[in-house]
Structure 1
């Protein structure tokens, strides 16, 4: 018992708090990203995701441990892909493109909502208290991770969403050939993200920063609305 007490006292709570403030936003971003894919696919006529139990807000149904770790450490990651049967769509390639675009679009919307609420809290100032400060910090992290996830997924490299949108413009024969190489894409992406994160050349990070900056209008709107709560 004494040993456990010593371990408890020796814990670096600031590190654990920072970790928690990153993991929760990452789970939110990943879960809603995959849910968007599944929901849009369902609305377009494919119930595969629903039958697989993926139309849920339960993050355990969506997370990929490696992808979550990458998200927390490098700010770019992924989840377990939602199963989609494109042949159930009236127009398979078009339906697949719309379904693929839904994930990044959801992340951009999440970022806008988070920044808007953050603006309201910022306007309220010290009245939000310590808990409010944690919430505000988590909102900013969620907004940034959402923009990063959106940027990462529009890269036209299989199996990312951008590749599925791009494939809708190629011939069926070329589409089949490109899909064959999808299994190798993630390996290339993991290596690329790791190497780029260790250099000054980080196009994904710069693109995410740019998008985050472009979306700050939501925080300004929230800041103005925050007058009503003072």
Structure 2
């Protein structure tokens, strides 16, 4: 299995933790889009069975593979018809931002649970070294990955949520010019994926920022518990 370990961006022994994290993170992300779109009057996602926490309907195999190999990927996008909203631009922003915010929430909750496990002595009570390491690895991956997905999805490039938000907030006269550059988004992602060293200046800073967010919340919760 050495060839697989060389291909994957993540260590092979940590792969199960990444997959569990992605199942939870992607599922809640896409469910959040679908849920709010349906609540605001657009039944498109509901008719396609996307208002569900069933991971199978939200996963895109290529997107998952690229995330494990290249450091970024995607789930199946939730179709949204903004014409069904009573306030298309405002509700469109809420639907778009709901996905990234769900990852932010998961990251915060994951950090809180981890701090509580440490503060109440649960971690110290784990005598099995392998189980102890597994718990540490999982919470580290779960929190940082969700914070990373929160930041990554806010990048204003199609088809990411940040671009959809930008579409809804810029003046209508600028939409035509904005959409002229959509075709270049695929090229940009290919450059990030293929050009050696490019991820050092693109994906890596996002991971570092995600780690910084994690540490800030960890320090906040530690302070709350008087530690």
2:53 to 48, 57, 63: 57
The residue aligned with 1:140 is 140
2:124 to 109, 123, 126: 126
* TM-score between the two structures when normalised by the length of structure 2: 0.80
Distance 2:68 2:173 in 1: 38
The residue aligned with 1:25 is 21
Distance change in 2, residues 1:175/1:218 (3 Å): same
Distance change in 2, residues 1:192/1:111 (3 Å): farther
Q: How does 1:106-117 map to 2 (within 5 A)?
A: 106-117=102-113
Unaligned runs of 5+ in 1: 1-6
Unaligned runs of 5+ in 2: 6-10
The C-alpha deviation readout for 1:155-213, integer Å capped at 9, x for no partner, is 1111111111111123445435645764x355235314314773474234213322331
The residue aligned with 2:189 is 190
Q: How does 1:73-222 map to 2 (within 5 A)?
A: 73-123=69-119, 124=121, 125-128=123-126, 129=128, 130-131=130-131, 133-172=133-172, 174-175=174-175, 178-179=178-179, 182=182, 184=183, 187-195=186-194, 198-199=197-198, 201-220=200-219
Paired residues, number: 215
Contact 1:76 1:145 in 2 (8 A): no
Distance 2:177 2:21 in 1: 36
The residue aligned with 1:71 is 67
Task: Report the alpha carbon displacement of residue 110 of structure 1 after superposing the two structures with TM.
Answer: 0.6
Distance change in 2, residues 1:31/1:180 (3 Å): farther
The residue aligned with 2:39 is 43
Distance change in 2, residues 1:200/1:91 (3 Å): closer
Which is bigger in relative contact order (C-alpha 8 A, separation at least 6)? 1
Report the more deviating stretch, 105-114 or 201-210.
201-210
Task: Report the alpha carbon displacement of residue 219 of structure 1 after superposing the two structures with TM.
Answer: 2.8
Report the more deviating stretch, 157-166 or 198-207.
198-207
Cα RMSD for the two superposed structures: 2.9
Contact 1:46 1:84 in 2 (8 A): yes
Contact 1:25 1:142 in 2 (8 A): yes
Distance 2:113 2:160 in 1: 29
